[in-house]
Amino acid sequence: MKILLQNRRTLSFLGATTGWTPNHAKARIFSTGLEAMFFCLNHHVANMQILGKFADQRMDFIVPVTDLRGD
């Protein structure tokens, strides 16, 4: 399984090196969903979702990330 971050508006993925990429194969892979969530919160990245991608696409999942701490 791969854990990725995707912008909900642009559908781009956080890149493995820098910036954003439309290609999930070039996306940064997180060890856990919790690590991906904390990345969003610590970097104040809005409108994100965590994707869990499996070899069997029927197992894939999406979890929206919402920062309720305010500004």
Q: Would residue 63 count as lying in a domain?
A: no
* CA atoms 4, 10, 15, 21: torsion sign: positive
Q: Would residue 18 count as lying in a domain?
A: yes
Q: Would residue 69 count as lying in a domain?
A: no
Q: Would residue 64 count as lying in a domain?
A: no
Residue 49: domain span: 2-57
pLDDT in tens, 33-64: 999 999 998 988 888 999 999 999 999 999 99
Q: Would residue 21 count as lying in a domain?
A: yes
- Asked if pLDDT for residue 68 goes beyond 80, the answer is no
Q: Residue 47: left if φ>0, alpha if ψ -120 to 50, beta else—which one?
A: left
As for how many domains the chain has, the answer is 1
